[in-house]
Structure 1
Amino acid sequence: MKPSQYHSNKGWHNWLGYKIGDSYLEKYCPYYRGALYDLGCGEAPYKEYFLQYADSYTGVDWTKTLHNSRADIVSNLNEKIELVDEVADTIVSLSVMEHLCDPFKFLEESFRILKRGGHMILQVPWQWWVHEAPYDYFRYTPYALKYMFEKTGFKDVTVEPQAGFFTMWFLKMNYFSTRFVRGPKVLRWLIKACLVVFLWTPAQFLAPFLDKLDRHWEAEAPGYFVLARKV
């Protein structure tokens, strides 16, 4: 089953972003194995998806999350994670590290709890708006991500841009346009219908084709996925 079947966050204005994210989660499915730990799990939307491949799933998050947390273990990811050394075969962390004020500590702790031979899969935004304020601290270039992972001990670090300039630009435009959906219920419905027909839908269908004109996705990607290993 595909990851899209396990979350319901998609809307008319941003379904392309989730579709792209899901494609990368599927790409990395050979690495989901053994005891999988989801750091910054929030509502744990992909729990059942990961359990198709891993033997067990453990969600870790802190009490100040803005989501309805379904964490199995409560721990501040800016500090020592309340887990023993080398307990995880796989670590997943999606759209989390930008919200951490001490990302190096987070990567050091991730490395500590990961077993030798295990993999970490991480996703962070790049060209994206400030969200979940005031807990939004950093944006990372692909070079920063590679440096930080290698600095904390990881090997075989690969960083992949999620999409190119046009996907980034159209998604940001779509998010911005949601601010105009206001007023009485009937007016909101009418504005939203116009946006769906004339902006949100055509923009998201066109963006992947226009991205083929962009030869440097890493420069203005909406975000990056990182795959790294502990040897």
Structure 2
Amino acid sequence: MVDRLLGRLRRLTYKNSSRVHMQRVNEAFARSVPAGARVLDAGAGSCPYRELFDHAVYESADLQGVDKPYGEITYCCDLRNIPVEDGTFDFILFNQTLEHMAEPQAALKELARVLKPGGRLLCTAPLFYEEHEAPHDYFRFTQFAHRYLFEEAGFEIERLEWLEGYLGTLAHQLDRAAIALPYHASAYGLGASRWLMPPTAVSIKLLFTLLSGLMSRLDARHRFTDAGYPKNYVVVARRLPEPATPAT
């Protein structure tokens, strides 16, 4: 009964600000893509941003290795071995996929291979998020990891910043805590806490649900980035041209 009421309250109050900001950055990236350009959505999953690229030639690649819904995938392949020629694409989307690469450096080098020199890539990847899509969840990335990995793969970073603000990170943590906090007395060991904590947990769950709803809605409107840490980073990078071959 309590879980049903809290679930209803969560649905009324919580707004996933990550999805709001993800939509915004993908819309902005799509506006930079000229008509007829060839776009690869790498790790496309359900292809949620496909419609943003109706003016372009949209193609997708995914291994389809976990049990979840997928869109119409052009290339069912490992992202370390995409079956196209060098420099095939003008732009690449790489959303929420880097953490699922057992060899992220190899995947980025392959994306650099299939992207034209001067082509641009949009990447979003988590710094703070629970394990998901098991067993293919390997890494979380700081801004320094992003810079190192992209530069080593042959990219120049044009933009590297928080996707959400800290209120979005806090909202997510409170939301997860409200769901995970146990009711049953055995979770709290022996002594008085065994009997005091279950009713206290109900109050804490209610408080966390309300706070996560408030923080998530605030973050969807304004990214507070002066303190704390983001849930995700967003990277826009440009493929560097191949070094000139010395004259003989």
TM-score normalised over the length of structure 2: 0.73
Q: How far is the alpha carbon of 1:215 from its aligned partner?
A: 1.6
What's the C-alpha RMSD, in Å, of the aligned pairs? 2.7
Q: Where does residue 232 of structure 2 map in the other structure?
A: 223
Is the Cα–Cα contact under 8 Å of residues 85 and 114 in structure 1 kept in the other structure?
yes
Is there any run of 5+ residues in structure 2 with no aligned partner, and where?
1-10, 184-205, 242-248
Pairs aligned (count): 205
Q: Compared with structure 1, are the counterparts of its residues 88 and 170 closer, same or farther at alpha carbon in structure 2 (3 Å cutoff)? A: same
> Which structure 2 residues correspond to residues 42-191 of structure 1 after superposition, within 5 A?
42-51=45-54, 53=55, 55-70=56-71, 71-77=73-79, 79-179=80-180
Q: Say yes or no: does 1:36 pair with 2:39.
A: yes
SS at match of 2:161: strand
SS at match of 1:202: helix
Amino acid at match of 1:215: D
Q: How far is the alpha carbon of 1:227 from its aligned partner?
A: 0.5
Q: Partners in 1 of 2:211 and 2:144 — Cα distance?
A: 34
Higher gyration radius (CA): 2
Is there any run of 5+ residues in structure 1 with no aligned partner, and where?
1-10, 183-193
Q: Compared with structure 1, are the counterparts of its residues 96 and 197 closer, same or farther at alpha carbon in structure 2 (3 Å cutoff)? A: closer
Q: How far is the alpha carbon of 1:87 from its aligned partner?
A: 0.5
Q: Compared with structure 1, are the counterparts of its residues 122 and 197 closer, same or farther at alpha carbon in structure 2 (3 Å cutoff)? A: closer
Q: Compared with structure 1, are the counterparts of its residues 170 and 105 closer, same or farther at alpha carbon in structure 2 (3 Å cutoff)? A: same
Q: Partners in 2 of 1:222 and 1:44 — Cα distance?
A: 22
Q: Partners in 1 of 2:182 and 2:58 — Cα distance?
A: 39
TM-score normalised over the length of structure 1: 0.78
